[in-house]
Amino acid sequence: MQMYVCNDKDGDFDNLVIVHEYGHGISNRLTGGPSNTGCLNNPEQMGEGWSDWLGVMMTIEPGDTGTDARAVGTYLFGQGAGGAGIRSYPYTTDMNVNPQTYNNIMTTGGQPHAVGEIWAGILWEVAWALIDESGFDNDIYNFTGDVNLDAGNVMAMALVMEGMKLQPCNPGFVDGRDAIFAADVAIYGGANECVLWDAFAKRGLGFSADQGSSNSVTDGTESFDSPVPAIDT
C-alpha cells in the first residue's frame, strides 16, 4: 500500500487516510470476482467512494450522529477538527450541509474523487439508516449474520463488502445499489429492504433511477421513489 506526504503532512498519521488507501485494495480485489482485474476503470466506478466511506465508517466514535459533518483530509491540510476537508462537502445525512444526489455525477467530468464522494455520501445515508434502526457497536467486527443481533454499522459493513463481491465488473451506481440489496438477501434474508430503499431514494438512487451506461456519467437519471410502502412512525 502506497502512502504519501501531502503539504508536508504524513498521511500515516491520519487514520481515515490509512483506511482510505487500504480500501482501494479491497474494492479492486473484490469487484468483478477473483477472475477479473482492472474492474474499476470506467467513468462511473465508485472506487474513491468506497475508500472514503470505509475511512469515515471505521472512525465513527460512540456518540456520533448521522447529521454530524465528517470531512476528509483535514489533518493533511492543517484544518483541525471541524475543518471543511478536501471534498466538495463533508459527509452527513443533513441535506442542508451536503445536498449531493445521484445527478451530481453529471457535473464531475468522470473525475474519480468527485464521482466517488457522491457514492460515499449515498452509502453514508445507508449506514446511518441502519444504525438508527439497529444501533451502533463499537466493535465493528462483531458480525453474526443474524439481523436481530448485528448492530447497524456492522450490518452496513457486511452489506457493502458482500455487495462488492456480487456486483459486475465496471459497475455504475445502480449496479452497486442492486448488489447491496442482493447482499441483504444473502446475509439477512432481505430484512433491511425498506430501510435500504429509504436511504438510497433520499439521495436520488431510488427504484426508478437509471444509470444508463456505466461508461458515461452524463446519461443517468435520478429518482426518489421506493417500491415499498412508506414506514409509519
Q: Which of 21, 125, 162, 222 is catalytic?
A: 21
3-state SS, 121-167, equals HHHHHHHHHHHHHHCCCCCCCCCCCCCCCCCHHHHHHHHHHHHHHHC
Contacts of 127 (CB under 8 A, 6+ apart): 53, 57, 152, 153, 156
In the three-class reduction of DSSP (H, G, I as helix; E, B as strand; rest coil), residue 9 is classed as strand
- The DSSP symbol for 43 reads T
The C-alpha cell 458482500 sits at 162
In the annotation, is 61 catalytic?
no
Q: Which residues contact 107 (CB under 8 A, 6 or more apart)?
A: none
Task: Supply angle C-alpha 121, 124, 130, rounded to 5.
Answer: 150
Q: Which residues contact 111 (CB under 8 A, 6 or more apart)?
A: none
Decide: helix, strand or coil at residue 210.
strand
Query: What sections of the chain are H helices per DSSP?
Result: 15-30, 47-57, 112-134, 152-166, 173-188, 193-202
Cβ pair 105, 115 in contact under 8 A: yes
**Distance separating alpha carbons of residues 130 and 152, to the nearest angstrom:** 4
Which residues have a catalytic role annotated? 21
